[in-house]
Amino acid sequence: MKIENLQNGKIALVENANTSAEMRFGNFDASDVYIIERHRFGGSRDRYVKTIEFILRQDSALVLLEAKSKTSQEYFAETCDKMFDSLNKYFSFAAGRNSDDKFRQFAADISTVSFRFYLVVKRLEMEYAEQANDKFGKALEERFSRSYINIWQLAIPQNAVVMSYESAKNVNIAN
């Protein structure tokens, strides 16, 4: 993911820069974006941890966003793994298991924040969108065990959305 600095502390994030699959996310305040893949645990654990593109603080929610140029059944499982690993990483940081200064500024009170899980697909056929949303939601729900939900006092994820790149523009995630 390429970061572009815009005016007044704003940034844009570009996935697959300079290819036909390019997607631009942004005009976000830099302090509202946490590019989780750039922050490592350290050591050999990092090669086992899959991460999403970024986490965005938006109102009282944290948006976990993964971008793909296309989707298939295998991508749902992979994306759920990435979101689960990224959320685990976020919680470990929130529990003070990392000394990342950027994260401390970004951390939110877990008891008051809601989570949104977005899979943005560059080429998503609209007739497939509803089916993709159902499959993604079910895959994400299966990935979150009851013990995990209970440990962090979370609800089973309800805000799992697969959207086209054009739809992401309509909700002010992409530009």
On whether the CB atoms of residues 15 and 23 are closer than 8 A, the answer is: yes
pLDDT value for 120: 92
How far is residue 112's CA from residue 94's CA, in Å, rounded to a whole number?
A: 13
Lowest average pLDDT, out of 40-44, 73-77, 133-137, 170-174, goes to: 40-44
- Which DSSP state fits 174? B
Residue ranges of domains in the chain: 2-170
Q: pTM for this structure?
A: 0.83
How far is residue 116's CA from residue 63's CA, in Å, rounded to a whole number?
A: 5
Q: What pLDDT digit, counting tens, does each position of 116-152 carry?
A: 889 999 888 777 888 888 888 888 777 776 656 666 6
* Token representation of residue 37: 């893949």
- Identify the three-state secondary structure at position 81: helix
Residues above pLDDT 90, as percent of the chain: 5
Amino acid at position 162, single letter: V
